[in-house]
Structure 1
Amino acid sequence: MNDKHWTSYFKFTINRKIFFFLIFFGLNFYGQSNKSGYSEIAKQRLLVHITSDYLHTVSQGQIDKDSAVRTSCRLYNLSILIPYNEIYNEGVSTFETQLIEKHQIKEAQKLLQNLSGEKRFLLLLELSNYFIFKSGTQNADLDKAEKYLNEVLQQKKTTKWKIGAMMLKANLLSQRGNTNASEKLYFEIEKNCRQTRNNLDQARAFLEAGKTLQYGNSKRLVYFQKALSIFHFLKEKEKEIETLSQINIEYFIARRFDESEKLIHQIVNLQKEIKYYHNQYAFDVLSYLSYRKGDVVKALYYSNKCIESMRSKEDSIFKALFFLRRGELYQYSKKDKDAMFWYTKALENKTNETRLFWYKAFLSKAWLLNKLHQSKDALSLLKNTEKEFPPVTDFEKMHFAFILGETYENLKKMDLAEKNYSVFQNIAQNYPLQFVHDEFPAAFFQISSFYRNIGKNTKARQLIKNGISHTFEIGVSEKSLYYYNLFKIDSTEKKYDDAIKNLLLSQRYKDSAFNEEQQKKFAELLIKYETDKKDKNIKLLHAKNHLQLIRSHETEREKNILLIGALLLIVIICLLLNSYIIKQKNSRKLEASQRELDQKNSFLESLNNEQQKLLKEKEWLIKEVHHRVKNNLQMVTSLLNSQSAYLKDSDAKMAVKDSLRRMQAVSMIHQKLYHDENISTIAMPQYIDELVHYLHESFDNENQISFIKNVEEINLHVSQAIPLGLIITESVVNAIKYAFLEKQNGIIEVSLHHEDIEFIVLKIADNGTGLPDFTTKTDTNSLGINLIKGLTKQLKGSFIIENNNGVHIIIKFMYLNS
């Protein structure tokens, strides 16, 4: 029922005061239904911005930003005003703002007649907020907003109301297409905030100024970086995350995918710090980035994390998109049956309201049916869906036409195939570049293959060029398809040298995309995911059974209470007569129960003491083992030292000294485990510092060698610390012995740090003479290098050695949480 119907209805039933009372009651009830899971207004705003940015970008231009924001607010039952009112409203809900949230605009406008001062300013700004950020851009709405804003801007004194009005006015000018005037007003806001040392609003102005510019505009990143530095200084974590997300969008559009991936990890870490748990959007993007690089194992890992992050019914609105990503991973991994399952699962909630989420999955399912040589089923799916849900947006029309063309091609109806392929090409050539992703080049390559098959090589070659012109960088899978198409065209045109070259490139990218090692890891990750899923289902089932049992007990308890009450009414006189006897019996029972409880408590206390004693003995025994291992190693070290005094062969002496250093590296670990409270992990910064100092002191060289140590605060389990210590020992000793000429100054750098959430990287680098006759990264054969390789294999890591103004040894291995 609209505003007019409501007003007419209440005119004939109740008076004006009762009407506003009912609205106020209803709105207060509505305002209490926040479904975001956050009570802090800053986190609610962040959720709306993160969700709407994801929705806007993943739609690839099918939904505008204002509509995406309104959709996010509606999804989590949050106020439609909070995304843009943080300068002048800290989340306080009033009777007037609640009317706007319920779209009772006429009633809110009528209240302006009786308001003055700050209440009037707040209502003027919130009405402007409502009209500026309505879906679409209507001049009539913007005119209303401008009228309200001008009244606030007439203030001579600068207040939060005036700054808020200036910010909204700048956004309004941008929506009118007057970008220069908008930027000038943002500059005036920033200048005003700088003079008044209002750093927070200055940063907000920078952020909003960047948002009003078109994607890809170089000024956007400049504004965002300025905002980010201030938010970081002020420790405004939510705004820092929001700004980093905007920077990430720019990286994504510019195809700076490696930088985007690093930025998303930074965002996830910040979200963890502030206990913001809606990480599914970040993990979905990480899954996509890993997928397009050909790292399907990581892509599956992040896909699992994405699905696990959905915690509520509201979060699951986007599940069709996440299931689509999972289906693509299975299809890419040649698990077509599983891919079909996930595509079908993504289509479970198929309505016009949710078509933005499931439509891509529908197209992917049709595409997979074609791949499985079930083109008749694909055609049936396409036609039935078209009848119920005709394609509406340009994105839907072009991709529907592409899949339909491919289906007709497989059914040998070449005229219909070419007709639909032409529809795709006509729309694609004018599609906004910022919303073009990997499906566009893949489509062009497929259409190129069609024209090659019907003998139109010139057209085929042109379409290949069109495919790569739509993006700065195509993914691994698309690269393989790109070179394969070139190989086919060159073969047809008898350009055999080029054909062989392109075939090798195609095979290279195809092999790198999903090799045997990745298949093995992928299968392991799937098993782990399914096992975890079953465990969770079992726990959920147990919880449901337990809840049902509790409810059954409660019902039984209620029945018993009623029965006992009835019996008490009947026998109350008898109970009064025998009260003394019952009291005596109860007293004896209580005494017996108390004695029993005392005995149990005494037993539990003695049992607990015994367990504590055993635990301390266990820790003492483990420490004693470490102490004795250390003593034995030192005894062996002393024996080798004594033996070396009788050796005359210099090589033998050197070998003995190398062995001494290796044993000392292990001995130091056991010594630390003996002295530290923790008996299973080693603090690497202190250990590496002591080890490097010992190795340096163990040489009596005239050359001046400096050490640089960059070691993160990492605690490693002893199973990883020992091989790592031996690797450092071998690398540093080799550098001291061979990297520098006599009396030559030199630098040896030892660094240990996290590369991402899962991996740790050790790097030992010197600026010495480097390896002689060095040609490849593995073309070495010595005991030290072989020992490092063996220890790296023990860590289940990777080993790289490079000549880059000295020798650089890089070890990357998975971090075992202790």
Structure 2
Amino acid sequence: MEHKLFNIISLNFTIARKALSVLLFCWLNVYSQYNKSGYTDIARQRLLVHITSDYLHTISQGQIDKDSAVRASSRLYNLSILIPYNETYNNGTTNPAIKLLEQDKVNQAKNVLPNLKGENRFLLLLELSNYFIFKTGTQKADLDQAEKYLEEILQQKKWDKWKMGAMMLKANLLNQRGSSDESQKLYSEIEKRCNQSENNLDLARAFLEAGKALQYGNPQRLVYFQKALSIFQNLKEKEKEIETLSQINIEYFIARRFDDSQKLIYKILQLQKEIKYHHNQYAFDVLSYLSYRKGDLVKALYYSNKSIESIQSKEDSIFKGLFFLRRGQLYQHSKKNQEALFWYTKALENKTQETKLYWYKAFLSKAWVLNELHRNNEALTLLKKTASEFPPVTDFEKMHFAFILGGTYEKLKKVDLAEKNYSIFQNIAQNYPLQYVHDEFPAAFFQIASFYQNIGKNDKARQLLKNGISHTFEIGVAEKSQYYYNLFKIDSTEKKYNDAIKNLVLSQKYKDSAFNKEQQKKFAELLIKYEADKKDKNIKLLHTQNQLQLIKSRETEREKNILLIGSLLLIVIMCLLLYSYIIKQKNNRKLEASQRELDQKNNFLESLNHEQQKLLKEKEWLIKEVHHRVKNNLQMVTSLLNSQSTYLKDSDAKMAVKDSLRRMQAVSMIHQKLYHDDNISTIAMPQYIDELVHYLHESFDNENQIVFKKNIEAINLNISQAIPLGLIVTESVVNAIKYAFLEKQNGTIEISLFYEDKDNIILKIADNGIGLPDFTNKADPNSFGLNLIKGLSKQLKGSFSIENNNGVHIIIKFTHLNN
């Protein structure tokens, strides 16, 4: 009793501990699994994911694909990975199965599907397709699964939002498969159906998605985006208007329409303000870059400040390395290398493999600035150490690492190593997609050109300058100054003084426009203002921290209350578990009594079964004994007939006795096989016919003039069919041996037994002898044999036919009786 009580307590303690773990897990989920975007409406949540992913995809310059960028953005703000692509059919609806998908528990979500019907099933089918289509990469297995789910909806006859959503997803799926033309045809079909149903919102969405599906730089992209923009503006869908304008802005960037891009971003910022969208850091960062390209460092610094100020949450700060990088670049181009070094170092805080995309450019820029400060060995150490911890993986990382390493070796006067690494950069850069080429490419070519000019390879230097220009339609002011200064140095060494002077003037002109004294003064003033604002913000921050402390104390109190409620809930659970245990024990006792009764019945059935098995074995033994005795009796009769034949004088009588002996032997062989085989009901025909023919061959063909060919399928016949068939074979073969081949000529007898179909069997016996004689004499033994075969065929309930075609062909067709 004490032992049982201890077991009960141990069991309940284990259950309670697990329950408490579950409770704590759920409690932690409440505080960790929540929306971190700052927006309660799904429209702005979707916009945030699209804007953030577009920025990441563009800033990575081809290092991550769009699907990866979208998922990274969704995970960052703890938003559903499904919402960027499901607005056609889902405006925020969720359920347990969809939540499993959002947590990447796809197999569990799939297991729910068979239990769903109607709209819930359609919704899950679409979300499963959504999940697999936009999963990172384009694995065929993922796309095949998505297509399977979509087809169930597309086969519906009714046209509704589910079918529209499926068509939109199918168009994306075709594009992911590489079938761009088919994808565009499907978007055209969607456009047609939307026009018929006057569904303007989905029409605009279709235009937007059709444009996104095309390659960057395709003129049709802008056509689609402009159509979508017009409809979204009429419908006052401002979030979608911003998303569409952002896509147009990407096209302007690729086409190097930087003035148009700047105007567009001002419009985007105004719309973001109207809908209270506060993630403006990406737009301000682009404005900072555009201002720097124009040589307006003051505006560039202003927008850089604005982008950093827009970082409001822990999640936003994940990308801070990119904004600190921009700040460092502005200091570097203002010849403030120490300040630039500070910001690059700040961008490298807490660097990890997962955040490599956000700090790797800052690491390369830091090494470059160290070279500018003549701290070349320090730069080399930084490059080697970082490459050891975080090896360059993407083409972008490899070529830019090689470029900075080449520049470092150039500063250290290690010309061979410098040229080797510069060559690595050039080899990768020449195949890099043009849509991902930014200003650092021409700047790198100009730097390498300067290296070759310094070592006396002017032709190589000129070619590199041309390469630098060809990578973009327009280069920035600073790059233009560097380009013309390189040309000035080459012309000077080649004594082309007129060209050298012209190029020097142009270089100075662009340099002055970017770094004139007025700009430098405004730049410094802006920095002072920025630092002053920063101090004011720090004071406000202290006040905010006091408020946060108060909030934290309230949170602590709330946590205590939750823990107390959890403890009470745990006690209730333990009581319920104890009660359920008592009930279970009572039920177990009833089950044990039922089990004993069931065991008694099972024992009785087992004894009956044993007795039945014993009777079956006795029956089998008796049947075998019958076959054995029949065989023995047949052999006794055979012996008597054989003895009697020696006293017969009439040859016909002797022949009749021998024919009878042969037929009895055929029957005896069947009973012998049934006696020796485990199977006492059927005869395996391949083995039986083989033994029968062997016996007949030895009995009648002493000189081996006849060849037997057998084609017997694996057919088992019961005794009622095996005996007539054996007698037919015996009669047919003996007749052929005796009458088909005269004057001891060689011949062939073919025996075939096969299924014509699943129910009917054909026996065919053919020889190549002299053919059929005239059987008009009824006393002829050969005629008697054929009559016997006919009679046996009727016993088989089959048909008999005989042909005279280069020999005798006997064909018996009968139905196989089931055993």
> Are residue 224 (structure 1) and residue 229 (structure 2) matched?
no
Contact conserved, 1:125 with 1:149, CA < 8 A, in 2?
yes
> Are residue 294 (structure 1) and residue 295 (structure 2) matched?
yes
1:301-700 alignment to 2 at 5 Å? Answer: 301-545=302-546
Structure-2 change in CA distance of 1:29 and 1:148 (3 Å): farther
Cα separation, 2, equivalents of 1:135 and 1:23: 33
Q: Which amino acid aligns with 2:345?
A: T
Cα separation, 2, equivalents of 1:207 and 1:420: 43
Q: Which amino acid aligns with 2:211?
A: G
Contact conserved, 1:290 with 1:299, CA < 8 A, in 2?
yes
Q: For residues 167-225 of structure 1, what are the alpha-carbon distances to aligned partners after superposition, in whole Å with 9 as ceiling and x for unaligned?
A: 00000000111111000100000110111010000000000000011111111000000
Contact conserved, 2:33 with 2:78, CA < 8 A, in 1?
no
Cα separation, 2, equivalents of 1:194 and 1:496: 67
Structure-2 change in CA distance of 1:127 and 1:538 (3 Å): same
| 1:23 Cα deviation after fit | 14
Report SS of the residue matched to 1:61: coil
Q: Which amino acid aligns with 2:212?
A: K
| 1:334 Cα deviation after fit | 1.4
Identity of aligned residues (%): 79
Cα separation, 2, equivalents of 1:375 and 1:471: 31
Structure 1 runs not aligned, ≥5 long: 1-12, 556-818
Alignment match, 1:237: 238
Q: Which amino acid aligns with 1:57?
A: T
Alignment match, 1:766: none
Cα separation, 1, equivalents of 2:85 and 2:25: 23
> Are residue 160 (structure 1) and residue 132 (structure 2) matched?
no
Contact conserved, 2:392 with 2:401, CA < 8 A, in 1?
yes
Contact conserved, 1:320 with 1:347, CA < 8 A, in 2?
yes
Cα separation, 2, equivalents of 1:554 and 1:53: 37
| 1:111 Cα deviation after fit | 1.3
| 1:545 Cα deviation after fit | 4.6
Report SS of the residue matched to 1:373: coil
Structure-2 change in CA distance of 1:545 and 1:115 (3 Å): closer
Alignment match, 1:142: 143
Cα separation, 2, equivalents of 1:143 and 1:118: 23
Cα separation, 2, equivalents of 1:477 and 1:331: 12
Q: Which amino acid aligns with 2:283?
A: A
Structure 2 runs not aligned, ≥5 long: 1-13, 557-819
| 1:25 Cα deviation after fit | 6.9
Q: Which amino acid aligns with 2:472?
A: T
Contact conserved, 2:132 with 2:146, CA < 8 A, in 1?
yes
Cα separation, 1, equivalents of 2:541 and 2:94: 38
Q: For residues 295-337 of structure 1, what are the alpha-carbon distances to aligned partners after superposition, in whole Å with 9 as ceiling and x for unaligned?
A: 0000000001100001000001110000000001111111111
Contact conserved, 1:193 with 1:201, CA < 8 A, in 2?
yes
> Are residue 88 (structure 1) and residue 116 (structure 2) matched?
no
Contact conserved, 1:24 with 1:95, CA < 8 A, in 2?
no
| 1:546 Cα deviation after fit | 6.3
Contact conserved, 2:371 with 2:408, CA < 8 A, in 1?
yes
Name the stretch that deviates more: 108-117 or 419-428. 108-117
Structure-2 change in CA distance of 1:518 and 1:488 (3 Å): same
Report SS of the residue matched to 2:432: coil
Report SS of the residue matched to 2:170: helix
Contact conserved, 1:27 with 1:102, CA < 8 A, in 2?
no
| 1:517 Cα deviation after fit | 1.1
Cα separation, 1, equivalents of 2:101 and 2:550: 46
Cα separation, 2, equivalents of 1:103 and 1:57: 26
Cα separation, 2, equivalents of 1:520 and 1:432: 39
Q: Which amino acid aligns with 1:290?
A: S
Alignment match, 1:131: 132
Q: For residues 342-389 of structure 1, what are the alpha-carbon distances to aligned partners after superposition, in whole Å with 9 as ceiling and x for unaligned?
A: 000000021100110000000000001111111111101101111111
| 1:96 Cα deviation after fit | 1.3
Q: For residues 137-177 of structure 1, what are the alpha-carbon distances to aligned partners after superposition, in whole Å with 9 as ceiling and x for unaligned?
A: 10000000001001100011211000000000000000111
> Are residue 36 (structure 1) and residue 37 (structure 2) matched?
yes
| 1:408 Cα deviation after fit | 0.5
Contact conserved, 2:278 with 2:310, CA < 8 A, in 1?
yes
Alignment match, 1:198: 199
Cα separation, 2, equivalents of 1:229 and 1:247: 13
Alignment match, 2:804: none
| 1:550 Cα deviation after fit | 9.7
Alignment match, 1:174: 175
Alignment match, 2:72: 71
Q: Give TM-score, length-normalised by structure 1.
A: 0.64
Cα separation, 2, equivalents of 1:34 and 1:319: 20
| 1:129 Cα deviation after fit | 0.2
Larger radius of gyration: 2
| 1:542 Cα deviation after fit | 3.3
Cα separation, 1, equivalents of 2:88 and 2:445: 47
Cα separation, 1, equivalents of 2:355 and 2:107: 31
Alignment match, 1:58: 59
Q: Which amino acid aligns with 1:292?
A: R
| 1:543 Cα deviation after fit | 3.7
Contact conserved, 1:210 with 1:221, CA < 8 A, in 2?
yes
Cα separation, 1, equivalents of 2:344 and 2:156: 58
Alignment match, 1:724: none
Cα separation, 2, equivalents of 1:46 and 1:181: 28
Structure-2 change in CA distance of 1:550 and 1:464 (3 Å): closer
Structure-2 change in CA distance of 1:25 and 1:114 (3 Å): farther
Report SS of the residue matched to 2:362: helix
Contact conserved, 1:27 with 1:99, CA < 8 A, in 2?
no
Alignment match, 2:123: 122
Contact conserved, 1:27 with 1:98, CA < 8 A, in 2?
no
Cα separation, 1, equivalents of 2:99 and 2:555: 41
Cα separation, 2, equivalents of 1:355 and 1:414: 30
Structure-2 change in CA distance of 1:444 and 1:74 (3 Å): same
Report SS of the residue matched to 1:68: helix
Structure-2 change in CA distance of 1:451 and 1:545 (3 Å): same
Cα separation, 2, equivalents of 1:218 and 1:96: 41
Structure-2 change in CA distance of 1:551 and 1:225 (3 Å): closer
Alignment match, 2:762: none
Report SS of the residue matched to 1:310: coil
Cα separation, 1, equivalents of 2:31 and 2:148: 30
Q: Which amino acid aligns with 2:408?
A: T
Q: Give TM-score, length-normalised by structure 2.
A: 0.64
Structure-2 change in CA distance of 1:83 and 1:550 (3 Å): closer
Cα separation, 2, equivalents of 1:74 and 1:334: 39
Structure-2 change in CA distance of 1:484 and 1:122 (3 Å): same
Cα separation, 2, equivalents of 1:551 and 1:518: 46
Q: For residues 610-630 of structure 1, what are the alpha-carbon distances to aligned partners after superposition, in whole Å with 9 as ceiling and x for unaligned?
A: xxxxxxxxxxxxxxxxxxxxx
Alignment match, 2:276: 275
Alignment match, 1:662: none
Instruction: Give the number of aligned pairs.
Output: 539
Cα separation, 2, equivalents of 1:88 and 1:26: 32
